[in-house]
Structure 1
């Protein structure tokens, strides 16, 4: 055997020293591609077939066509400063087209025709006429024996060859592009292309103008956004910002492939530099339950863990007695390949929860993350977890994720989550992946509930937040969630809903929260009803000037839809002069309170004054515009259910435009359009098929905490209102409600949006609409006061969502960044 190898190497060296002179014709070539090029590339160590020949180009092509060769010199016409040049794809030798083909061609032994020879006699020649032109070739073929090492070496050679071929093809495309740009037709059509670009620009500007005409108050925010983009990115940034404003989410550039999430080498270096400054590097254990996982899928999952830039991790795999013996063999091989990978095999099948708990028994890390056996981690995932542990000392951490198809590459959607919201979690299990727990806390909880085969992760998260001191949200995609059509969650929706409802009911019982969990308006959404406490009393404050018919509609709709609640309507008449309005106001004095206010219009001052005039036995104030119309029974009760909780300061309602088909308010996002704007504005409340519009991750149909709600209809606890000194009277017209909500949150209370309190808002009928910002002084004061929050971003609005859209449009750039602003919530 050793003698055969020496003979093969000697034959290859001799062949490399021979130069053939070929006729100077386009179909023939001559050239030198020295054997030392192959030797330096490591080709001399692999089993090869060596050919010494004098052949025409056509003969070489016929010979090489059925095999995969390692050194490829091919006749691809390439443009260069010297006409008629050729490029060698592997050695990158550029010569004239008369010097193209190499004499020594190393054939990969795994090619189909050569493989047949390997299976034949120890030394065999290629006898297939399809592979040889006998007139042009007189080959001396020596094939050495295969081994595991040689196969790996050949694969590496083949991969290098593919890279070089791809580079050559890329060069060809670049050349064709240069030829196209230099062509006469391209120059002649330049005016047409210019006109098309200008037409698109005009269309974008017209759409932006329409947005401003619809709501003139957005002009200031759009101007600031354009100015900021101009300073940051110049004309390109301005164009991108205007396009997002004009087109909205429907026309936003779609993201279809995970290359938008690429982790750059530069970012890796930057994060390692930051890591060097950490005072410590906590170990993170990753728990992965497995059961009959396809080998390629499992390898990809494990490889994504091994590719982490943060190296102080351990992967604890709990196999749930997989009947496929290949799974056990693969798991054992993975454990043997890396000391950080631990595997435990169950003797009986116990389910996902049992397998995860067995993996937890192996864990030695300070923090524990959960990962499914068919999903993938982004390269910085464990780094971000460890970074949060070092900086925030949390008990529970969760991140954003991307939903991909079974191939792991095609993007189906994004889960951009807000800051932690308990009411949101009770309405919808919006936290899924990536999740990580303090190991000691997870063990105290007993791990996952083994009695649950569905919704066990939802149960674990609820039990965790019941005892956690601090919850951290990392607003970055750290997890790639493969969707499988055969998962239990897709096939058994009824079981999932019932199991999750029971989990939610158990959570309410453990926390001693009176309430009942019921199915919500869509799959995986729930409606928690809280019984009203005795002694609640609401003062409904309605300021107005004239507009008696509008006030009548508002008051009568309240009287018609509110029952079983102790309330009193307080109408504040601001210097009304219309006789019909005054007559109506006088007619209701017997059953409601009418106060007379005089002075310049100041919405904040009027409401503050009204609260000082009424009795002190009220528990809540409902500030209500005179153009509000109640349309459903029980809306005030739904708001009171949330507002009666001691941690809640204010509750807002879901408002529709007249006609009840278009949403006007589903909460307020601070920073939208440079200041603040309503979520869900101008969105249809029903889809074309008649089903309810959920909004992004249920944003229009769930109760959830947020930064602010509109005062067109807001319920505030009286003691909280007095604690923050009511409305700021410096904000006479605009942003007084948002400012009040932000000060309520700063005082330690929650602001909650109630999706089940539905009313119509006949917006701005009483005061009319302005062609410009109707309250520029208020806008300037608000932006100055809350500049840091506007710059950093609303914690309940994910930074990957567009700040120029009220419809939760996603931002095209989903790539990871060096800095991430974590959202931290202290629960205790």
Structure 2
């Protein structure tokens, strides 16, 4: 615990939250960073005299938070260490839950939990239910925050906290640790209480603007270490502390754009015009997939578009995956981009925003933000669990930040929507293509989950935007039988526990509302109006 000029009552509450832990095998290492307030020494010495597990060090001069935390770490003898800020509090079960996690996952190198805030009246509010380890989200925003506990040997190996990143020293440490291990565990319980107050970033980003300068620097340095050619900037239309990593296209890739046509020439022209204007001509081929039953003169069709497109005819069931599967067979590109005539590219980022991620070896598929014809969001990633099956993140909501900014940040999900998806041809071949048993629904999610099983990431980017010229679907339209039963038989374990969709969030809707039965009763009173608007 680093301490500097903390208000007496708040400091006592913070220390008392450690003394009140149900798990008793702990040590509290406190370093005072040359506080000028005389009560600090009296309070710290009082607690140290009462409990030998409280260990103290008083610095002769103010050195800043990074150096102070490193001093506390040098005093530690435990296998794991975590930082409790001098004005925050732990839940009484925090250490018990962390030790239980370590016993279950003895190879864990980093553990974090959900958290909430304590307002200036002492009420608990703003519950923050997090994703399990989410590499792309971690480059967009320090979503791990509190209470991050690290294996001490790894903490020392990476060099602890760095003074050059003061203010975002915890973010910088997280990024460096995540490059050395993937043994990162999340506890989906509120075990840390972050105090709001004057000068605390818990009240808003404007309280500590320097934090976000060092935050960008931390991300830039992480990309440098990882050999990623990219620029980092404050995310547009967001708040300070949200970043956009914009990756450069490493080499030109031939992209086969597969378009499913149902015979509506006006709709198809709208889609193709958006492709022609948004996707560079040199690195694309366009294949329009049509069922043999359509009464279309394909020679005339090709002539109309001056040979810029190739028509692909498929037999059998007239379905989207059937059409795309035929197109994949005839595609020449290493990269595949799936569309149909009801879609429309909104900007050049609709293409390049996907391409920058699909070029990454670790990414299996990438999807963007898709809007219904009326402007409501249709897709911002796919979440498993809603309606006992799956849902589209933030479906039928307005284009706002979403819960903790989830609509506006590049992040990982278990799956992305098939229309608007970009993937690599080799990956489709590796998993045996789209499953013929899922002709009418869930073929895209099934494909993504097969890639996930092989260790690939699925990435959502809000910068690739599409308009889907269809009406908003009712909830009952999301369940299609017998495909739903087939899908459940394969993927029930992920439906039950989607790692990117916190179990404390409701499975009755797709807008990241809370599952109120999971909320601690202490925060109910302060909950009203505490969420980011996700409507």
Query: 1:457-496 residue pairs with structure 2 within 5 A?
Result: 457-487=170-200, 490-492=205-207, 494-496=209-211
**Distance (whole Å) between structure 1 residues aligned to residue 159 and residue 418 of structure 2:** 45
Match of 2:40 in 1: 327
Q: Report if the CA contact (8 A) 2:349-2:463 is conserved.
A: no
- Give the structure 2 partner of residue 731 of structure 1: 438
Is residue 2:334 matched to residue 1:619? yes
Aligned with 1:509: secondary structure? Answer: helix
1:304 aligns with one of 17, 38, 59:
17
| 2:165–2:215 contact (8 Å) kept in structure 1 | no
Structure 2: how far apart are the matches of 1:384 and 1:586? 67
2:391 matched to 1:677? yes
Distance in structure 2 (CA, Å) of the matches to 1:593 and 1:331: 76
Q: Indicate the residue corresponding to 2:371 in structure 1.
A: 656
Is residue 810 from structure 1 mapped to residue 517 from structure 2 by the alignment? Answer: no
Match for residue 781 of structure 1?
A: 486
The residue number in structure 1 matching 2:533 is none
Q: Relative to 1, partners in 2 of residues 1:516 and 1:585: Cα closer, same or farther, differing over 3 Å?
A: same
* Contact 2:200/2:208 (8 A) holds in 1: no
For the Cα contact (< 8 Å) 1:668–1:706, is it kept in 2?
Answer: yes
In the TM superposition, residue 316 of structure 1 has moved relative to its aligned partner by: 0.5
Hey, what does 2:305 align to over in structure 1?
588
| Aligned equivalent of 2:266 | 549
Tell me, which stretches of 5 or more residues in structure 1 are unaligned? 1-287, 686-692, 818-828
Structure with bigger strand share is 2
**Other-structure match for 1:119:** none
The partner residue of 1:745 within 452, 455, 464 is: 452
Please give the alpha-carbon distance, in whole angstroms, between the structure 2 residues aligned to 1:564 and 1:446.
48
Q: 1:451 to 1:764 in 2, by over 3 A?
A: closer
Corresponding residue number in structure 2 for 1:385: 98
Larger radius of gyration: 1
**Count of residue pairs brought into register by the alignment:** 516
Match of 2:257 in 1: 540
**How far is the alpha carbon of 1:816 from its aligned partner?**
6.8
Q: Return the alpha-carbon distance in structure 2 between the equivalents of residues 374 and 575 of structure 1.
A: 69
The answer as to 2:151 corresponding to 1:446 is no
RMSD, matched Cα = 2.2
Cα separation, partners in 2 of 1:492 and 1:403, compared to 1, 3 Å: closer
Instruction: Tell me which of 562, 569, 573 is aligned to 2:279.
Output: 562
Would the alpha carbon gap of residues 539 and 322 (structure 1) be closer, same or farther in structure 2, given more than 3 Å must change?
same
Distance in 1, matches of 2:94 and 2:49, equals: 24
Alignment partner of 1:813: what SS?
A: helix
Alpha carbons of 1:669 and 1:773: their partners in 2 closer, same or farther (altered >3 Å)? closer
Pairs within 5 Å for 1:330-341: 330-341=43-54
Map Cα deviations across residues 400-441 of structure 1 (whole Å, 9 max, x no partner): 001120343x13311100011111111111111111000011
Q: Deviations over 1:726-768 (max 9, x none)?
A: 1111111111111111111011111111110011011379xx9
- Alignment pair present for 1:714 and 2:428: no
Paired residues of 1:652 and 1:710 also in contact (CA < 8 A): yes
Q: For residue 609 of structure 1, report the CA deviation from its aligned partner.
A: 2.2
Q: What secondary structure is seen at the aligned counterpart in 1 of 2:255?
A: strand
Aligned to 1:273: none
- Which ranges in structure 2 are unaligned for 5 or more consecutive residues? 522-535
Q: CA deviation at 1:591?
A: 1.2
Q: Which has the higher helix share?
A: 1
1:231-273 CA distances to partner (integer Å, 9 max, x unpaired)? Answer: xxxxxxxxxxxxxxxxxxxxxxxxxxxxxxxxxxxxxxxxxxx
| Local SS of the residue matching 1:516 | strand
Change (3 A) 1:304 1:650: same
**Residue deviations 1:611-651 (CA, integer Å, cap 9, x gap):** 11233xx2211111221111112321111111111111000
After superposition, residues 262-277 of structure 1 pair within 5 angstroms as none
Alignment of 1:634-653 (within 5 A): 634-653=349-368
Residues in 2 aligned to 1:296 and 1:696: alpha-carbon distance in whole angstroms: 32
Cα distance in 2, alignment partners of residues 625 and 411 from structure 1: 48
After superposing the two structures, state which structure 1 stretch, 580-589 or 723-732, moved more.
580-589
Quote the Cα distance in structure 1 between the aligned partners of 2:395 and 2:35. Answer: 51
> SS of 1:451's equivalent?
helix
Residue 513 of structure 2: SS of its match in structure 1? coil
Q: Is the 8 A contact 2:132 2:500 kept in 1?
A: yes
| Distance in 1 (alpha carbons) for counterparts of 2:19 and 2:475 | 59
Match of 1:223 in 2: none
Question: What is the TM-score when the length of structure 1 is the normalising length?
Answer: 0.60
Tell me if the contact between 1:802 and 1:810 (Cα under 8 Å) persists in the aligned partners. yes
Residue 505 of structure 1 pairs with residue 220 of structure 2: yes
Counterparts of 2:166 and 2:440, CA distance in 1: 54
Q: Secondary structure at the match of 2:367?
A: strand
Contact 2:302 2:310 in 1 (8 A): no
Residue 435 of structure 1, aligned match among 148, 161, 165: 148
Residue 503 of structure 2: aligned partner: 799
Q: 1:363: which partner in 2? A: 76
Q: Distance in 2 between matches of 1:510 and 1:772?
A: 47
Asked if 1:577 corresponds to 2:281, the answer is: no
- Indicate conservation of the 8 Å contact 1:548/1:585, yes or no: no
Structure 2 vs 1, CA of residues 361 and 424 (structure 1 numbering), >3 Å: closer, same or farther?
same
8 Å Cα contact 1:405/1:412 also seen in 2: yes
TM-score, normalized by length of structure 2? 0.92
1:22-51, CA deviations, whole angstroms, 9 ceiling, x for partnerless residues? xxxxxxxxxxxxxxxxxxxxxxxxxxxxxx
Tell me which residue corresponds to 1:183: none
- Does structure 1 retain, via aligned residues, the 8 Å contact 2:314–2:322? no
Q: Are the aligned partners of 1:546 and 1:576 in contact in 2 as well (CA < 8 Å)?
A: no
Q: 1:631 to 1:737 in 2, by over 3 A?
A: same
Work out whether residues 544 and 572 of structure 1, in 8 Å CA contact, stay in contact via their aligned partners in 2.
yes
Deviations 1:421-474 (A, max 9, x none): 111111111111111000011112222112333211111111111212411111
The 3 A distance-change label for structure 1 pair 465 and 551 is same
